[in-house]
Amino acid sequence: MKLYLIRHAETVDNVAHRLAGIKDSPLTNHGALQITRLGRYFASQNIKFSHIFSSDLSRAVLTAEGLSAHQPELSPVLLPSLRERDFGSFEGTKWHSTWESSIVPKQPESEASMRQRANAFLNDYLLPLLLAGEEAGDEVVVAVVSHGLLLRSLWRALLACFPPSDVRIVGDADISAFNPFWANTGYLEVLVRPKLSPSVGDSEMPILEFSLRSMDHSSKMESIVTLLLLSPVLAAGSLHARIDNGLAKTPQMGYVTPAEGYRYVTTDCGWSVADRLPNGTLTWNETLFPSGFPAMGEYLHGLGLLFGVYGDAGILLCGSPPDQAGSLNHEQQDAQTFADWGADSLKYDNCYSDAATGYPNVNYEPSTSPQSRYEIMSNALLHVGRPILFQICEWGVDFPALWAPELGNSWRIGNDIIPAWRSIFRTLNQAVPNTPFAGPGQWPDLDMLFVGNGVFSLPEEQTHFSLWAILKSPLTIGAALKDDKTSINPASLEVLKQKDVIGYNQDALGVSANLKRRWSDEGYEVWSGPLSGNRTVVALINWQNVSRDLTLDLPDAGLQYAQVVKNIWGKSVARDVRTSYTANVAGHGTMLLELQGTVPSGSYPAKIFAKSKGQTTTFESIYGVTTSANYTLAITFVRPSTETVTITTSSGQTVSTSGKPTRIALTAGSNTITIRHKTPIESIQVTPPTGTYYANTVFNVTGSAQHTTCGSGCSPVGSKIGYLSPDSNAYTSIPVITPGSKYLEIDYINNDVAFSSSWGWGSNSRNLTVSVNDGAPVRLEVPLSGRHSELFSPGKGWWDSATLGVLTSGWKTGENKVVFGNEGGEDGFQTYAADFVDNNELASIQLEASPPPPGNVFPAIERWNHPKSNIYKTLATFWCFLVMGANDAAYGPLIPYLEQHYSLTYTIVSLVFLSPLGGYILAALTNNHIHLRLGRRGVAIIAPSCHILSYIINCLHPPYPLLVVSFVFAGFGTGLADSGWNAWVGNMADANQVLGLLHGFYGAGAVLAPLVATALVTKIGCAAIELATSVYCFWDDTGAVFRRDTQQHSTPGGGGGGGSGLRKALFTKRAGRITWVCSVFLLLYVGVEVALGGWIVTFMMRVRHGEPFASGMAATGFWLGITVGRVVLGFVTPRIGEKLAITIYLVSSIAFGLILWLVPNFYVSSVAVSIQGFFLGPLFPAVVVVATKLLPRGLHVSAIGFASAFGAGGGSVLPFAVGAIAQAKGVKVLQPFAIGLLGAILGLWMGLPKIPAEHET
């Protein structure tokens, strides 16, 4: 066998060094290229895969489909067991900080759980294929596409097959080969084959050779290592944390039709008596079983059937009284007794078992987990000399899927089925989190079948039997087939004998179907799963009790086309089914389909979907899951071509492209795509939009609803919204570009397990509704999501989220009110809705002026506290602005000391204001280049280092020219930090408020400036803290991350590199106008701010004749006003809109400037300058926010960075100008000079373009 262990292609989170476990992350452009290279490489090597297994996460699925694209007859088998490790609350966080702080996520998935999944896959899929291939003499070539940590666990499990003494390293291999690291699309090539080995004589032994390669490297990453295997037979069971009794490779089937596969015949409770025999063994009720159990076992074996017995982990059997002895404290003796009787299976119940609560009949909240009692019996059965299939039956208490597979062959997922149709819905809702644990030797048990009991209608029996079968439940007939009093009706018997359905249950692949989609209002849902032979089984359940036509959209099952669709209960066969299939389904019935010869969803071969006429080809039955202009269309021609083609969609859009994927618009439902071309088309690929993620933290809540934290779960933000009653909701505003119907993927949490309520109306579901723009709510009745113990785990299963999607209508261009709630919940069984974690809207909402290039996806809008690492980054920027404020405001208090120390005039001393201009200009010109090459990490290192260097030079009291030069370094650092952190924060949600706080810290630093202006050692310490905190928090924000975030993938310094973004920002018509207006606005504003702050002390002393201390306090009041204004008005600005707010602030500043100028009173002037500072405070942050709304996101750093650095130059030029004028005319010119500049700023502001409606706050 040849085995290729392949890691998925590069994703956005890989580039950003973020943990991405069970949450999907979109591919980068380079990732898409890696997939193409990988597929072409294997094809060029003539490598033909016989099997492809893949994680069901999209980054792995897309990689696997890249392999199968060269083998159209082969479809990947998607397995949840191959998913990456679930990182819980660490999902989306930077992995450096996570590991360096030694906070290793232990919930919701442990290392042991991940190893168990890897071992299960090895044992259930790889090793059987190896053995089957050896027996048949066929070459088996297997590709496994998964994730780094899971692949490492799988590789270690494979190595565990080989005893260490028989591992031999050959050539120049390094021991690190045993713990390899997979690059994206890197693969480990493993060859298992017979080979003569001198170390073990002349006998042939299988060996294992492997090498690790990456498609991004031309040479091998590791040398070949050879390992010897002692035996040609692999002991599969020893590798897997599951019971090793060799039984139940497929789900067991019970009762008496051996020709159909039903072989186990089991007597349930009621067979025993209260007292044991004198030797302590169990015995049977002689009235009911006069010949005894051993004789019954012999009789059944003689019929070719298997003998099943029933026991209990408590002191009595279920069904007592009359009392019947249980096995508690008699496990080994009873196990041996069952074996002596010839038993082949044991169903082991859990009544009367909890000693701490007085051995009640049933206890759904026991004092301890039932696991320990089942461990005792499991171990006992392994030592009786006879294989006995062990059926764990403790009704789903303590979520046994996590521990039962290593003890038994099946486990009951929930309480008993009852003779009522509602129990089918209740059981399926409980099955949802159990299905990923199904596999050979370990099966979730949905309880016995009620088919033939006269309880259900024939369509209900078909539904019941279909779902039990495809979910891989053991099939145990619970009806009397024939006795003296009754006989099963022929129609029910035919249901139980349906060979196709039994075949799905017994399929060798052993993969359970999963819930794919649910329409609660319409009353139907879809389940599907893979079968051997590249087939797929699909069940569409009609929950309404009325016969009707229902349509299956094949993409809901991951398919686009089926050559054959076999309708089992409809007894029909359809051929060449494209995109959808419609059939009549009886009330409470099921459309059960087997699909063969399939094409994966999104792929449209021209010979199947297209009609051509001349140079025009029209593709029909194009599926749209949502209405969006951000679908991606890729065309494959029959031969290489770069011709320009014209594409028209049924939505009316027409676009042109030349050989590259392009954005197209599709509506939800069926579409057509018409292409005008010259080269014949082989196929097209249509990829739906990735969507935009909205965590619960961006939603506001009303009524009883509340945000709650979730410990280490509720990925990725560690919180959820709970207590959604009918009188409460969670709401937010979501902007979209394209109106129409939108598909929402909703992450929810529900672990409200129906135990006691299962006998009544308990359904294991909770209601959740979503409405758009106050339209009619769409209801989703969600199943259980909990995958941990509801009793003993942290979070009790209420940290485990699951995802379901709904199609919603009523969306309009611009902002949309989206409300999640529990409307109609007052009519249901449960008081509260499911907990709401997050929502992914598949319209690819972006805030840029035009759609991004194909394949590029901007990340969702960040918040100051999401992801969690942003909290520390935000605090680091606050400290940086504190240092910057102290630096800029220190010039004024330094002037008297500089005049005295260096004996300078106003004009010469003003050079300390002018000198930073060189630094600001340099920062404006290099800011974008630094971001592209070094990312925000570069800003975090360079800016504080420049501050430290400047302060060290100042400490040495150098000659005045060198002192002036030192302020150039300070200016460069300030300009770089000013531009970088303004652009970063300006792109956040609630940017006005956060920028207000950011610049409030600048003002706070300025307030402190008079105290530390001459304490340069103190300033060096502050700058050192700035360096340490900034570098630590932004270390992972490299140039690669920045380029990914802004979609600027050009090489820094190369053609079209670092300067291209700046050129676009400055010299394209609309963007250039906005950038230059904002730049000049900030130049004048910062000039006014620093001039007033720097010269107000001198003004108050020389013009208002104040004392030095009081004049210094006036300057402090000015900076304090700016600080308070930024914080307070930062919350006011978004409420009234930036355009109106800044106009009001500027007019108010001019008014108080006039008071300061015209009223010759020290105290009035002191108050006026403080209030003037208050209204000046929010101007800088508000302009940054406006720039983010008017400019495309890809230009934000270039434009805002330039404007910030250019504007910072105003803090040099204009105070210098004031100094020069003051030298000639006196410092009294300060106020008319400032008022004139404020008037010019107001004029500039009125010339800015109008903010689009969808961006108005």
Which residues are annotated binding-site positions for substrate?
A: 7-14, 59
Please calculate the CA angle 88-94-98 and round it to the nearest 5 degrees.
65
Side-chain half-sphere exposure of 752, counting CA atoms within 13 A: 23
SS (H, E, C) 920-971: HHHHHHHHHHHHHHHHHHHHHHHHHHHHHHHHHHHHCCCCHHHHHHHHHHHH
282/650 Cα distance (integer angstroms)? 74
200/197 Cα distance (integer angstroms)? 6
CA distances (Å), origin 8, targets 5, 112, 154, 177, 509:
10, 23, 15, 20, 23
Return the closest-CA partner of residue 1165 out of 1086, 1111, 1218: 1111
Q: Give the 3-state secondary structure of residue 286.
A: coil
Tracing tokens 């990490």 back to the chain, one arrives at 937
Per annotation, catalytic residue among 17, 51, 65, 84: 84
Q: Please report, as a single letter, which amino acid is at residue 701.
A: V
Per annotation, catalytic residue among 8, 17, 464, 588: 8
955/794 Cα distance (integer angstroms)? 56
Q: List the binding residues.
A: 7-14, 59
DSSP string, 337-354: HHHHTT--EEEEE-TT--
Q: Residue 1014: phi, psi to the nearest 5? A: -100, -5
The answer to whether the CB of 210 falls within 8 A of the CB of 235 is: no
Whether 84 is catalytic is: yes
386/383 Cα distance (integer angstroms)? 8
Q: Buried b vs exposed e over 551-579: b needs ≥16 C-beta within 10 Å?
A: ebbbbbbbbbbbebbbbbbbeeebeebbb
Token pair for residue 431?
């099955």
Is 867 buried (19+), middle (13-18) or exposed (0-12) by CB count in 10 A?
buried
Length of the chain: 1257
Task: Measure the CA dihedral 435/438/442/443, to 10°.
Answer: 50
DSSP E strands, 1075-1131: none
Q: Give the 3-state secondary structure of residue 654.
A: strand
628 - beta bridge partners?
Answer: 666
Please calculate the CA angle 1170-1172-1174 and round it to the nearest 5 degrees.
70
The answer to whether the CB of 1037 falls within 8 A of the CB of 915 is: no
Whether 96 is catalytic is: no
Pairs from 1067-1076 (Cβ < 8 Å, separation ≥ 24): 1070/1249, 1071/1191, 1071/1192, 1071/1195, 1071/1199, 1073/1249, 1074/1187, 1074/1190, 1074/1191, 1074/1199, 1074/1248, 1074/1249, 1075/1187, 1075/1191, 1075/1195, 1075/1199, 1075/1202, 1075/1203
Segment holding 37, helix H or strand E: helix 29-44
Q: Residue 1002: phi, psi to the nearest 5? A: -60, -45
Q: Give the 3-state secondary structure of residue 558.
A: coil
Q: Give the 3-state secondary structure of residue 1061.
A: helix
Is 547 buried (19+), middle (13-18) or exposed (0-12) by CB count in 10 A?
middle
Residues labelled as active-site residues: 8, 84
